[in-house]
Amino acid sequence: MIDLEWMAWTLPTAVFFAGIAALLVGMSVWQHVSPTRRRRGALGLSTTRGDRVFLGLLASAFLQLAWLGLTPFSPWIAAGLGGVLLVWILRFG
């Protein structure tokens, strides 16, 4: 008999995935209402809104991993910094 362990869906995990889902739904609606156009921002790349969302989520994930691996401080600080980084990339990237 195989004993499978299921992932424990804690409140922070559920909030995280619900937030990502809400972001994707919101971006889809925004794209339908107001189609995006490429622009060059602070990152020096010609990007669309979707590109900036992807880059922001990726940068936030790498920040979180580096924080967990390199510092003894609370991961909630990294989550806050990751959110700030995501908003900055969406706005200025």
Which residues of the chain register pLDDT less than 70?
Answer: 1-7
The DSSP 8-state label assigned to residue 34 in this structure reads S
49-68 pLDDT per residue, tens:
888 989 999 999 999 999 99
Mutual angle of helices 11-33 and 49-70, in 10-degree steps: 160
Q: What is the pLDDT of residue 37?
A: 87
Tell me which long-range contacts 15-23 makes (C-beta under 8 A, separation of at least 24).
20/57, 23/53
> In the chain, which ranges are E strands?
39-40, 46-47
